[in-house]
Amino acid sequence: MTNIKHLAIIMDGNARWAAGHNLPKAEGHRAGANKIRELLPEFINLKIPYATLYTFSSENWQRSTIEISFLMKLLSNYLKDELKNLHENGIKIKVIGRLNLLSNSLQKQINNAIELTKNNNKLTLCIAFSYGSRQEIADACTKIIASGKKEVTESDLQNALYDPEMPDVDLLVRPGGVYRISNFLLWQAAYAELYFSSKYWPDFNKDDIHEAISDYSKRKRTFGKR
């Protein structure tokens, strides 16, 4: 058990993992999706109540049509194949991002998954898809303006985010050997501890999660205090 209320992961390195194994990018993304299935039970064992996975960023729309199409199908297949198992294991599904950019059929799948699992309480699995944090904050501001408010508090902005119930990020993990957070949960990760690994996401395993948590547990979090 840990004292982590929110674990956020940037699932980086799928394409480079595939290249290193002389495989097409699609196989790297598929291996990355399989890794979620492997690690979710460990999140539950560790009693981490909320986990957000960065799976498709707003910037990823600039990739090739073929790759984008595959990633859309991958999310669709994941929801189709895994939803029953996720539900039976008490996992609540949330999906955040500009979901209006997705096909109607995929939006319907997402909404069905959210509705089916809404009362589960073992773990909230939040999938950041078609997501960018700057866009989230801009969308929140637009919502607040539309409400007619003239002055905005932090609480107002929090309540206008894609998931107002999302707790602040305690630990943000990025595999893949890249040292940046890439427009991910900028508001929610204001005081997050950051952990980077040179391993690509498809190679990340339970031991790596434990290592990241062990490193986190040794840090003193002061939140600006002494």
Q: In what order do the strands lie in the sheet with 171-174?
A: 91-96, 123-131, 50-57, 6-10, 171-174, 193-196
- Residue of 14, 60, 81, 100 with catalytic role: 60
Q: Using the predicted structure, report yes or no on whether residue 226 has a pLDDT greater than 70.
A: no
Domain 6-133+168-217 CATH (choose: 3.40.1180.10, 3.40.50.2300, 1.10.10.10, 2.40.30.30)? 3.40.1180.10
- Residue of 3, 12, 119, 156 with catalytic role: 12
Q: Using the predicted structure, report yes or no on whether residue 122 has a pLDDT greater than 90.
A: yes
Is 12 among the catalytic positions? yes
The pLDDT assigned to 221 comes to 72
What are the start-end ranges of the H helices in 57-123?
Answer: 65-88, 104-117
Q: What is the pTM of this model?
A: 0.94
Mean pLDDT, range 203-209, rounded to an integer: 97
Find all residues with CB under 8 Å of 3, minimum gap 6, and list them: 170, 217
Look up tokens 């990760």; give the residue: 189
Domain ranges of the chain: 6-133+168-217
Segment 135-194, tens digit of pLDDT = 999 999 999 999 999 899 999 999 999 999 999 999 999 999 999 999 999 999 999 999
Measured CA to CA in angstroms, residue 211 lies from 17, 171, 195 at distances of 21, 12, 10
Mode of pairing for the β-strands spanning 171-174 and 123-131: unpaired
94 φ, ψ (degrees, to nearest 5) = -130, 150
**Closest to 75 (Cα-Cα) out of 17, 131, 8, 132:** 131
**Closest to 99 (Cα-Cα) out of 114, 112, 113, 110:** 110
Is 121 among the catalytic positions? no
Segment 18-55, tens digit of pLDDT = 999 999 999 999 999 999 999 999 999 999 999 999 99
CA distance 172 to 8: 5
Taking all residues of the chain, what is their mean pLDDT, rounded to a whole number? 95
End-to-end CA distance of the chain: 27
CB 96 within 8 A of CB 57: no
Ramachandran quadrant class, 17 (left: phi over 0; alpha: psi -120 to 50; beta: rest):
alpha
Look up tokens 């690994």; give the residue: 197
